[in-house]
Amino acid sequence: MTPDSSSTVAHQQPATGVVRCPFCGALTTADLNAGNPDCSSCAKPVLIDRPMPVTDADFHRIIAESKVPVLVDFYADWCAPCRMMAPVLDDMARQYKGRLEILKLDTDRFPSVSNGLGIRGIPTLIAFHNGKEAARQVGAAPKAMIEKLLKPLLTAI
């Protein structure tokens, strides 16, 4: 999969997602194919080419309202395999900008969502589409394995 292999359908209709402003913390619904959106509260640009930190408080809204697939990295700062996954997810966020949202949820700081999803080991990657869990990967994985997990979701948009 290459960044240029996106379907024409993805460009015909807005690929909307909910993004968090790193400056004021507000959530903004934006067309992810229109470049970096401006925050609806403070008007500063929200960069969407990187994984976005998420909390228990905003997780469900982002998953429910995003029209593109969402990949969530459930991690902890002390976890060595989680740290190994970070550059892979950074790269994927750049590569799939506008077609995929990547979120990071710190399971130590925000345990409610991870407990509710039955996460028992980290890193765990869960892909969501249309508000529902679509795929899960437990443990560190190479980029090719993550792309294989996401392929059906990315071709569906």
Residues annotated as catalytic are 79, 82
Measured between its terminal Cα atoms, the distance across the chain in Å is 14
- The single residue listed with the structure tokens 């949202």 is 101
Other beta carbons within 10 angstroms of residue 101's beta carbon come to: 27
Structure tokens at 59: 């997780």
C-alpha Rg value of the chain to the nearest Å: 15
